[in-house]
Amino acid sequence: MATSSSQEQDVQGEVLKKGKPREQKEDAEKLLESKKQADDGQSGGQFVLKCAKGTRDYDPFQMAIREGVFSVIISCFKRHGAVSISTPVFELKETLLGKYGEDQKLIYDLADQGGELLSLRYDLTVPFARYVAMNKIKTIKRYHIDRVYRRDQPRMTLGRYREFYQCVNHRNVLDGMFEACGVPPEKFRSICSSVDKLDKTEWEEVKKEMVEGKGLEEAVADKIGEYVKLSGHFELLEKLMSDMGLTAVASARAGLEDMKLLLHYCELFGVLDKVSFDLSLARGLDYYTGVIYEAILTGDATMKDGEVPAVGSVAGGGRYDGLVGMFDPKGQHVPCVGVSIGIERVFSILESRAKEAGGKGIRTVETQVMVASGQKNLLEQRMKVCTLLWNAGIKTEMLYKRNPKLLNQFQYSEREGVPLLVIVGEEETVKGGVKIRDTHTREEDFVEMAALVPELNKRLAECQHSERV
């Protein structure tokens, strides 16, 4: 399974322009209806101009944003000493069976082409558990950044996000709460998934679903309602720890002790104010066995009439102590805890903001110097100067035109944020040098060839410094 990289150059190129993606669904439909063209007599060759439903390309602008997000996230993981691993995009179908509950129908299967039955991974957690079991690993702190595949409705609602909060709960506390309220054990999961809707739905509606839709006694639902409105820190813990109904359940009591330790650790790490213990947090709970947490964005209060404030989860996770054991015939217990960050939403928000700001601050190339000329027949000189600069490790470009116009080269530099130009000219060549032009100030200075690289490096170091300031 090769990993490929390709670099495309148009040797007869014009000024490079930044490509902008356009939705061409309507065009594609028309194309498919209008014209078929065979390719060397083989099937196919229709004018298919779209991505698979629910998927998208990323253009250079979006990639620049994505790279920035990954950089922040990976730095954080590395700062905390995590290693990285990688697993294949598809697993044996059997590996994924029985792990996702109802969501199993959302798994993409590969066609049976005579070999093993395969499915695209649905998350990175189950492959991780397989990896841990397969390699008999006892301890590992790993991060893994990769795509996962789910056959559901693409949910790309953006809205404006203003508020961001993080909350924490514990599966055993939730179950204990249900027990204390009088929920019949066989309804725990069902009632749990109703509670899970509280981040998007008002309590009255959730209560209605529990009572009318799931046959829960109204009095029981009301008791749940009293609990799920609670959130806080140590004062909430104290309150719950003196709640007889709750602490009568041993596992709930243990869960509360876990929560107490967690909040204490958050305090030591200086982040207590960044989380809250919130009894309305439920999550999918497929494989969670202990603490659970979620980071949520809520919409701007200043909504237009009729608009529902957008809500989106950006991260979530918890403890899942039983998963690795499912892969190990000896049932070896390997406790796990983790978090998953849904960066598509973060990308989208940053992309919107960047566009609103006119794309400022986002560069799609990191080019530092453009080698230019306005006079004819200086292509070879430009190429030699590029070579000199590349060999010095300077990020350098030139236009792929034999005799480009100087103005086009200036405009390219301004548009792409290239800070400096080196201008090759007949007069300067005779004098044994070139001109350096500052894209921003537009000032030009002659410099001898021997001093070119040191002078460029000096100016580039100053650029970087002022960018940081």
Where is the binding site for L-histidine, in residues?
A: 123-125, 150, 166, 283, 287-288
Residues sharing a CB contact under 8 Å with residue 126, sequence separation 6 or more, in sequence order: 91, 95, 96, 99, 100, 323
H-type alpha helices, 250-378: 250-268, 343-356
Site for its own copies in 218-257 (CB under 8 A): none
Can you tell me whether residue 282 is helix, strand or coil?
Answer: coil
Contact range with its own copies by CB under 8 A, out of 102-110, 164-172, 199-207, 450-458: 102-110
Can you tell me whether residue 28 is helix, strand or coil?
Answer: helix
Residue 260 near its own copies by CB under 8 A: no
Residue 355 near its own copies by CB under 8 A: no
Smallest distance from its own copies to CB 158, Å: 15
Contact in structure between 427 and 385 (CB atoms under 8 Å): no
Read off the DSSP letter of residue 104: G
In the complex with its own copies, the residue whose CB is nearer, 230 or 365, is: 365
Contact range with its own copies by CB under 8 A, out of 110-118, 204-212, 219-227, 232-240: 110-118
Task: Go through 430-453 and write b for each residue having 16 or more CB atoms within 10 A of its CB, e for each that does not.
Answer: eeebbbbbebeeeeeeebeeeebb
| Residue in 72, 97, 248, 450 binding its own copies, rule: CB under 8 A | 97
Annotated binding residues: 123-125, 150, 166, 283, 287-288
| Residue in 56, 274, 440, 442 binding its own copies, rule: CB under 8 A | 56
Residue 68 near its own copies by CB under 8 A: no
In the complex with its own copies, the residue whose CB is nearer, 281 or 336, is: 336
Residue 145 near its own copies by CB under 8 A: yes
Binding mask 153-192 for its own copies (x = CB under 8 A): -x--------------------------------------
Smallest distance from its own copies to CB 33, Å: 11
Q: Give the orientation angle of helix 171-181 with respect to helix 218-228, to 10 degrees.
A: 140
Residue 29 near its own copies by CB under 8 A: no
Residue 464 near its own copies by CB under 8 A: no
Residue 288 near its own copies by CB under 8 A: no
CA distance 279 to 225: 10
Read off the DSSP letter of residue 304: P
Which run of H or of E encompasses 9? none
Binding mask 77-96 for its own copies (x = CB under 8 A): xxxxxxxxxxxxxxxx-xxx
Residue 149 near its own copies by CB under 8 A: yes
Contact in structure between 151 and 106 (CB atoms under 8 Å): yes
CA distance 28 to 171: 48
Site for its own copies in 374-433 (CB under 8 A): 380, 383-384, 386-387, 390-391, 393-397, 400
| Tokens 């499912």 found at | 326
